[in-house]
Structure 1
C-alpha cells in the first residue's frame, strides 16, 4: 500500500490495536503523532511513558500542541502533517461516537483532505478486548473512575477474567465514556517490554490513577 500514514498515539490500548491492524492491512506507517495541550497534565498516560513506548516501537514521534480555538488548531496541525511530513492518512483508535458527537478527527481532517482510517470503528467491544489478549498485548489499567471501580483495579492486567468482570459493571467495557484508561506495556511490535519499577496509586476527585516510573527490560 502506497499510503503514507501516521498513528494518533495516546499510549492506551485502542491506538495500540489500531497500529497493529493498520500494519496487517499494509499501511506504510512513518510516524506516531500525539496531540497535547500547552500545559499537559495527563493522569492516564504521561508523556514520559509515551516517549518510552515510542522508543520501543522505533518510529519517529511528533508531539503537536493544540490550543483554543481547538478545531482550528487541530486543522492547522493536520495540514502541517500533510504538507511538511507528506502524511496522507491518519490512523485512529476511535471505536464510537462519544456522547453522540461525530468523529472529531474526521471532522478536523476535512479541510486538508487528509484521509482517516479507523480500524476499530463500530467493532464489537468484546472482540476487540479479546484480540488484544490473543495477540499478546500487555495492557494495564492506568486510571479508573469512581463509582465503577476502586483503587484495586489500578495496575491490573487485562485478561479474559478481567473482561468478564467488566461485563458485570454498568459501563462500556472498552471504557469509551471515560470509565477507565489503559497503559500499553508490551505489544507485538515493541522491541522491549516496559517495566514498572515503582508506583503509587493516587486518588484525585472522581478517579484513581497510577503514578509510575518505568524502564524497559
Structure 2
C-alpha cells in the first residue's frame, strides 16, 4: 500500500481507465488526470469533448499538456514540472506492452526527474485485461477501428462478452488493440460519479479508419 500522490495518464480509453481503478485499489491517491497532446489536438480515437465529459464524471483536475519537438526532451521537462508544481510522486499508465520493440516510453522519460511510474497492466494477459473490464462493470465503446481489421458497425459498439468473443475469432489482430486495430472510450467506471450518456452514434471515415462522431 502507498499514499503517493499520483496522476493517471489519460486518453479516455479502456486501458488508462482500468489502470486508474487498479491504482486506487493499490492505495494511490489520484490527484490529476494528465493528457499529453500536440499543439491544436484533433484526436479521432479519443475526442476531447468526450474526455471533458469523463473529467466531469470523475471529478478531479485534468491537465492537457502540450508536447513539442524534440519530443523526448519535452516529455522529460513536462514530467519534471508535474513533480515540482503539482507535487505528483507517481505517474500511472495503462501501458500493456512494448510498442515496436521499444521499452516503456513514460519510464524512460521519467528517469531525468526521478518520477516513479506505476504500470498495473504491464505484461498482463490480454484476455485478463478485457475480462477485468467486464467483471468490474466498466462501460466501454469502440471509438475508432482500422478498416483492414474491423468494419464500421464496430463504432459505438459496447465492449462486452460477445464483442470479446468476436475479437478472438479475428486471428490476425491483438484483442486489446495494441497494434492500433481499435481504440475505445469509457462511458462508465467504478470511479465515475455518473455515467456518460451518448444519445446518438455515427461514424466518419477516411482512407484508413472509421471513427466516432457523437452527438451528446
Same fold (TM over 0.5): yes
Aligned mates of 1:16, 1:213 — CA distance in 2 = 22
- Alignment gaps of 5+ in structure 1: none
TM-score by length of 2: 0.97
Does 2:56 correspond to 1:48? Answer: no
Q: Which deviates the most, 116-125 or 28-37? A: 28-37
Q: Which ranges in structure 2 are unaligned for 5 or more consecutive residues?
A: none
Q: C-alpha separation between the residues in 2 aligned to 1:130 and 1:198? A: 27
Which position in structure 1 is the counterpart of 2:191? 189
| Deviations 1:29-74 (CA, angstroms, capped at 9, x unpaired) | 1111111110201001111111110110011111110111100110
Shift of 1:199: 3.4
Deviation of the 1:161 alpha carbon: 1.2
In structure 1, the residue matched to 2:205 is: 203
CA distance in 1, matches of 2:84, 2:134: 37
1:107-144: CA deviations, max 9, x gaps? 00000010000000000100110110010000000000
Distance 1:125 1:59 in 2: 29
CA contact (8 A) 2:146 2:208 kept: yes
**SS, match of residue 22 in structure 2:** helix
- Mapped to 2, the partners of 1:116 and 1:189 lie a distance apart of 21
Deviation at 1:2? Answer: 2.3
Query: 1:145 maps to which residue?
Result: 146
Distance 2:188 2:208 in 1: 28
Using the TM superposition, give the Cα deviation of residue 91 of structure 1 relative to its aligned residue in structure 2, in angstroms: 0.1
Once superposed, what is the RMSD of the aligned Cα atoms?
0.8
Question: 1:147-187 CA deviation, whole Å, 9 max, x = no partner?
Answer: 11110111110111111111111111000010000010000
Query: Aligned equivalents of 1:197 and 1:121: distance in 2?
Result: 34
Say how many residue pairs are matched.
214
Q: Which runs of 4+ in 1 moved over 4 A?
A: none
Alignment of 1:1-20 (within 5 A): 1-20=2-21
Q: What CA distance in whole angstroms lies between the structure 1 residues aligned with 2:215 and 2:33?
A: 22
Whole-Å separation in 2 of the counterparts to 1:155 and 1:47:
16
